[in-house]
Chain A
């Protein structure tokens, strides 16, 4: 079943200087129990794509259009009020990069998890509190009853991200969006949180969308990868296939630039130049100004995002 089905999504923001096009025609899907990694650099549109899927952007200034945008079979763009509230939480949940700002500082963790559950289903408060404690225990918080009564500032970043995962799981969503969930954390805590997300995904049978700029996170966690650049999809396919044989020059450059691949001090492979300005994107393929293979056609015309093999698509005139 298609949990998330997005066809030709565009998101733009009306600014003083003009219209900024953050997402320019994205097509993607996530099936039940499947995990998709969306990889891209700052400004590539990866977070905005997820925010748009949950309608978390303020409209206006944001303007969302799509040929199709469904979550759990519901048309997200047509959803209003109660339907939208049901989508957020029961169909899809999201965890954010910075757990410190994602929680309200003036209420305890327990209060916020209980509030979330009660917003979606009527129940006795004491029973819900027991449930919240069980969830905290599930995300491997040892002193769950103490954490229930703690305020966000009393907990470490890693502990808060665990609590955030518990809150996301509290309404048993079918799909979990994780937007850079480990970027703000230390390396050992990152490994623990990634392992936890993988475990609960399998246990709850959820779909997972993992948004990250870190190819290491992708290599660790997902089944399928979608590479974004300049608001567009560059390449999509099974994670192992993409790592073994990246088809798009941008994907190849990203993989080559990972530090620490070999032993010894060395220069790294770098991608020259800078990411495109979303207020004034280049014509044709957004990557062409930085691409070693680019020619006149790449500068003039955006290549279609099309199949290049079983389960694989790429937007390139010269896929490898």
Chain B
């Protein structure tokens, strides 16, 4: 069996939250991410969906160790990188790259596009300066920009073009894992399709694994192989993408799907909206014998397997 490109095991992040006390403040814990386990297989795209505050971006940043997990383990190609120091982490940094939502603030306005794309090669001391520039220009071409763009600056580009630059910079070191945090959310419809296609093509050509973080379920359906749904810092459901869209089990997944706008005016409908409390109260109750893998009956919701590749948070009854 091949090792997963990226694996998170029981990863949590808590932040101290000031709850009063004035000069001698008192703190309680804010659980941004609770006990998240994820497997990103090689050469696959995993969608991580949820709303603002669900913890999906925090999870992505912990996978990159841009945010340090409070507990849990991050494995890259089977190696535990959770406790590595800065120097030991560096070889793994090149395997893990990232593209952010806001391409404007992600690119240094004082650098030319060729310098921006070549910078990772420079940091990892790969090739001579001439080779670095040549490779950067080749990457401009590969992401659909003319090589002549190399001497331009970020402010001269549109949002879609800047996102192409961010993708070129992320992929020039030939990483095994790309974390893409809402890379298309700030883009226009026609440009969004271009960027999604570019990611599809590069993923296939490079055998890349992508953790695709998004709140846009329509994009997730077109792009990903599997989906994990986050709610209140937890994963509440995970399955093959089509299973999520056709056989969602958790109330929160269903309410997310129900909120997708109609694709045709004919399908307009009146919607019933659930509050967070109603969603928490609607946790499915499953009998232990109906599960694909054994689980201990408990009143506390747990993530259980209802099919080989389909996990859902449920209360397990005897």
- Are both chains from one complex? yes
Interface residues of A (CB under 8 A from B): 41-42, 186-192, 194-195, 213-220, 239-240, 243, 253-254, 257-261, 263-272, 274-275
Whether the pair B188, A213 counts as a contact (CB closer than 8 A) is yes
Whether the pair A258, B189 counts as a contact (CB closer than 8 A) is yes
Q: CA A274 – CA B241 in complex, angstroms?
A: 31
Whether the pair B261, A265 counts as a contact (CB closer than 8 A) is no
List B residues 255-278 near A (Cβ within 8 Å).
255-256, 258-268, 270-271, 273
Name which residue of chain B comes closest to A241, CB basis. Answer: B265
Q: CA A261 – CA B256 in complex, angstroms?
A: 16
Pairs A-B, 10 closest by C-beta atoms: A216-B261, A260-B218, A271-B190, A191-B259, A268-B193, A260-B221, A41-B188, A270-B193, A186-B51, A257-B193
Whether the pair A187, B260 counts as a contact (CB closer than 8 A) is yes
Extra contacts, 18 of them, besides A187-B260, A216-B261 (Cβ < 8 A), are A41-B190, A186-B51, A186-B52, A187-B217, A187-B256, A188-B255, A191-B258, A213-B189, A216-B262, A219-B264, A258-B189, A259-B216, A259-B219, A260-B217, A263-B242, A265-B223, A265-B224, A275-B190
Q: How many A-B residue pairs have CB under 8 A?
A: 127
Q: CA A220 – CA B201 in complex, angstroms?
A: 32
Whether the pair B216, A41 counts as a contact (CB closer than 8 A) is no
Whether the pair A214, B261 counts as a contact (CB closer than 8 A) is yes
Whether the pair B263, A258 counts as a contact (CB closer than 8 A) is yes
Whether the pair B215, A274 counts as a contact (CB closer than 8 A) is no
Q: CA A189 – CA B223 in complex, angstroms?
A: 24
Q: CA A220 – CA B262 in complex, angstroms?
A: 6
Q: CA A269 – CA B189 in complex, angstroms?
A: 11
Whether the pair B219, A243 counts as a contact (CB closer than 8 A) is no
Name which residue of chain B comes closest to A263, CB basis. Answer: B242
Whether the pair B196, A268 counts as a contact (CB closer than 8 A) is yes
Whether the pair B193, A187 counts as a contact (CB closer than 8 A) is no
Q: Tell which of A187, A257, A265 touches B51, judged by Cβ atoms closer than 8 Å.
A: A187
List B residues 220-243 near A (Cβ within 8 Å).
220-225, 241-242
- The verdict on B160 contacting chain A, using a C-beta distance below 8 Å, is yes
> Contacts A187-B215, A259-B192 known; A265 to B222 CB distance under 8 Å?
yes
Name which residue of chain B comes closest to A258, CB basis. Answer: B263
Q: Which residues of A contact B193 (CB under 8 A)?
A: 257, 259, 268-271
Whether the pair A258, B264 counts as a contact (CB closer than 8 A) is no
Question: Nearest-CB distance from A241 to chain B (Å)?
Answer: 10
- Residue among A192, A214, A263 facing the most chain B CB atoms (10 A cut-off): A263
Whether the pair B271, A191 counts as a contact (CB closer than 8 A) is yes
Whether the pair A190, B259 counts as a contact (CB closer than 8 A) is yes
Whether the pair A215, B189 counts as a contact (CB closer than 8 A) is yes
Name which residue of chain A comes closest to B190, CB basis. Answer: A271
- The verdict on B158 contacting chain A, using a C-beta distance below 8 Å, is yes
Whether the pair A265, B189 counts as a contact (CB closer than 8 A) is no
Q: Tell which of A186, A215, A216, A218 touches B215, judged by Cβ atoms closer than 8 Å.
A: A186
> Contacts A188-B273, A258-B218 known; A219 to B158 CB distance under 8 Å?
no
Whether the pair A243, B261 counts as a contact (CB closer than 8 A) is no
Q: Tell which of B188, B216, B242, B261 touches A264, judged by Cβ atoms closer than 8 Å.
A: B242
- The verdict on B135 contacting chain A, using a C-beta distance below 8 Å, is no
Whether the pair B270, A195 counts as a contact (CB closer than 8 A) is yes
A-B contact pairs, 22 of them (CB 8 A): A41-B191, A186-B215, A187-B256, A188-B273, A191-B258, A215-B189, A220-B268, A243-B266, A254-B190, A257-B190, A257-B193, A258-B263, A259-B216, A259-B221, A260-B221, A260-B260, A268-B193, A269-B193, A270-B194, A272-B194, A274-B158, A274-B191
- The verdict on B112 contacting chain A, using a C-beta distance below 8 Å, is no
- The verdict on B302 contacting chain A, using a C-beta distance below 8 Å, is no
- The verdict on B151 contacting chain A, using a C-beta distance below 8 Å, is no
Name which residue of chain B comes closest to A225, CB basis. Answer: B265
Whether the pair B259, A187 counts as a contact (CB closer than 8 A) is yes
Q: Tell which of A191, A214, A268 touches B197, judged by Cβ atoms closer than 8 Å.
A: A268
Q: Which residues of A contact B268 (CB under 8 A)?
A: 219-220
> Contacts A41-B188, A257-B189 known; A216 to B263 CB distance under 8 Å?
yes
Q: Tell which of A41, A195, A219 touches B262, judged by Cβ atoms closer than 8 Å.
A: A219
Q: Which residues of A contact B219 (CB under 8 A)?
A: 259-260
Q: CA A204 – CA B6 in complex, angstroms?
A: 54
Q: Which residues of B contact A240 (CB under 8 A)?
A: 265-266
> Contacts A187-B260, A258-B189 known; A192 to B218 CB distance under 8 Å?
no
Question: Nearest-CB distance from B196 to chain A (Å)?
Answer: 6
Q: Which residues of A contact B262 (CB under 8 A)?
A: 216, 219-220
Question: Nearest-CB distance from A199 to chain B (Å)?
Answer: 10
